[in-house]
Structure 1
Amino acid sequence: MIIAHTIPELRAALAGRGRPAFVPTMGNLHAGHIALVRQAMPLGDVTVASIFVNRLQFLPHEDFDSYPRTWDSDCAQLTAAGCDVLFAPREADLYPEPQTFKVAPDPALADLLEGHFRPGFFTGVCTVVMKLFSAVFFGSGAGGGTAVFGKKDYQQLMVIRRMVQQFALPIGVVAGDTARADDGLALSSRNGYLSAEDRQRAVQLSQALGQLAQAVRAAGADPLPALEARALKDLGDLGWQPDYLTVRRRADLQAPGDAAALEGPLVALGAARLGSTRLIDNLEF
């Protein structure tokens, strides 16, 4: 596996190798990331992963400085998976000067749910992804390719897809299913923050989303706001601090407008703190 730290090094590594299949990450890799890399491999001529902890998407009180950096393990996992190129820029390599030009996503999609509780988060995400796309796909002669993002970050996936569409980028955005532990907990780099006791309880978030989805589909169900309020209360009673447990249309993450909309493709999404660890999850139904 070739490791490139600068954009010129990356473009030299990719020159003449065809269309990249790209998996961006912030490192601290787990089986879910590796599944995305393996999913990407047949989708391009050269498989590229990136590791970059992006300061722009962290709020001042969040865990940028303490976010786990596990370089040796990450490299070993990517090598074993058959990744061809790892792009691991330093902050000065990707942001050699203050990033005053930023990509501001559509507020109708980006200012709700995660964007409501983490203001500016998706501007940071879109800005770094656009820059990574520029580094990976443009300059090596390929002129486009495929990028794979996990469904666990459901809203992020939708924001990136919309950005690619609106800027007419020649990049196919492919979704990877959420990888889960045997008990159903969505794999996440932040799971490592959980105490042993909290790790046993963490599956309660995915269970709450499943129960909410079942309640929505039940004949004679209560109105959706009442079901969501009950789900929030029930999870809070278990000792969590939920930000949201909600059901939205898959198409645009807007609330279903009527009973007929509740019959269509929906997704239950949740974010909640267990102790000091904030977890997110979702369930399509």
Structure 2
Amino acid sequence: MGKSTPMSSAPASTESWPWPPAIRASAAWHVAAIGAGVLVPGALPWAIGAIVLNHALITGAGLTPRSSLLGPNVTRLPEAAAARREVAITIDDGPEPEVTPQVLDLLDAHGQRATFFCIAERVLAHPELAREIVARGHSIQNHTAQHRHNFSFLGPRGFAAEIARAQDILADTVGQRPTCFRAPAGLRNPFLEPVLHRLGLSLVSWTRRGFDTREGDAAKVMARLSHNLQARDILLLHDGNAARTAKGQPVLLEVLPLLLERLRADGLRAVTLPEGLKA
């Protein structure tokens, strides 16, 4: 990994965090359960059960990448993108020197744009490649500093340190501060959204994904991405950690030409997230 850069202050939101209805309901549930357990004879076991159930529901929401119960979560481009015939191709876990340059060439050849959710420490290791992504008209967004496997178990300080550090590395390297964030594997907990709000970041998941980190069959990956494909879709692929085909090639390099040709045939245009999210 490359050398870390010092953290600079990130722009903070001046607005208070708007508590999502599910979090407000969870807080009220806790208060009611505790009150019942204290004030109602024999209600303590039921109160404990209610709290356990509540925690299970919140955990389930965090394990569901496209859920919006824990806060705003962009799963599709806005309605205005439908009239513009836009989709967003998002490519995670890079930059990867073996794969990313070929991805850029394919996108250029088809006149399409993509958003790269980059791991900041990989950007530190390959800064010129990151700058090339932006120079060729694409967008780099925040996919954490290290892509920690225990990311969804972090607390507020852990989230803030990991995400703010990535913000600073990406901004210092490519000259643009990300506005979008994607959690590793899309997993999170209730502490994430207040941190994103404070850092001015929008959580973005996806409409459909190809599971291309574990599926090496390009036809199967393409089938998942193209099923009911339509304007406003956000598609998820990987240049880093990509599964390999039977020929040993990163599956993305076989899927992407098929996907780009499908977009052309359907009259769809792939744009960066900052462009596609415009109302």
Task: Give the TM-score normalised by structure 1.
Answer: 0.30
Structure possessing the higher radius of gyration over alpha carbons: 2
Structure with greater helix share of residues: 2
